[in-house]
Amino acid sequence: MLKTLIFVSIFLVFFVGTTTSVFALGSLFVQCPEQGVVANKFALCAIAQCTTIDKIAYCKCEVLNQESISLPYDYTENQTKKNVCNLLVDGLDNGYTVSTYATPVQVLKDYDPVVEKKGPKMALYTCNPKRNPKTLNALSAQCDGGICFSSTSGTIFPGMGEVKFNEIICSCPIVKASSIGFQIAGPYPCDKSYYKKQCEVQSTTKTGTIINVGAVTGSASLLSKMLDGSFPNLTRCNF
């Protein structure tokens, strides 16, 4: 997954905004629900924070019902070829869902928390190793394809506190940042202390370490472009 998103971001740097680039990269991803399937429940973890237990991140994500995009995670079951969209449908009656991606409205410049009532306004923080060497090899959670269990909704989860009924805990691998850097969501107005704390996490050995869900720099914007048809106008924090 990480190698694929690094490739996506390098491609983005050289071909950003071109029809050819989006078409070419679109073949690497799948949009759910697929044609003819109405179920579209998924977990959005793009702006989530996570607690860590035994080298796994447990992230408090938002449950949504709309179109989303993901790597396909192709597999075969009973000689039938399936992908992440099938997992989403299968999870509806089996107590789980999957973390996929849609543009989180909380980081859009025109987001109005009073009207949309989806929590406080947030921003996209870029953890850039060229500006801050401490972000090189820093740790974040990679949640695309993470499995999330419905039994965690409406509970108290260790390290995450209250999990509302429209939220869910997803288990996600912890990954090191690449030389390209990574991006996380955080508070707005921009908070440099938050940036330093969450962009410079070097170890999750201690149980309960708080990390963010991260994405290789530029990859989230490109996924939004493929899903929504245009690049999102994001609130950004760069230090």
CA distance 82 to 72: 9
Ordered alpha helix ranges (H), 35-187: 84-91, 113-116
Q: Token pair for residue 158? A: 């260790």
- What was the pLDDT predicted at 17? 43
Q: Token pair for residue 163? A: 């999990």
- What was the pLDDT predicted at 15? 41
Question: What residue segments make up the domains of the chain, in order of their start?
Answer: 2-237
- What was the pLDDT predicted at 55? 92
Tens-binned pLDDT, residue by residue, of the chain (239 aa): 544 554 444 444 444 444 444 445 557 899 999 766 666 899 999 999 999 999 999 999 999 999 999 999 999 999 999 999 999 999 999 999 999 999 999 999 999 999 999 999 999 999 999 999 999 999 999 999 999 999 999 999 999 999 999 999 999 999 999 899 999 999 999 999 999 999 999 999 999 999 999 999 999 999 999 999 999 999 999 99
Cβ atoms 172, 214 nearer than 8 A: no
CA distances 234 to 92, 168, 172, Å, are 32, 25, 25
Query: How many other C-beta atoms lie within 10 A of the C-beta of residue 155?
Result: 14
Place of tokens 């799948």: 30
- What was the pLDDT predicted at 39? 67
- What was the pLDDT predicted at 6? 45
- What was the pLDDT predicted at 26? 55
- What was the pLDDT predicted at 178? 87
CA neighbours closer than 13 Å in the CB half-sphere of residue 135: 25
Q: Token pair for residue 133? A: 């060497």
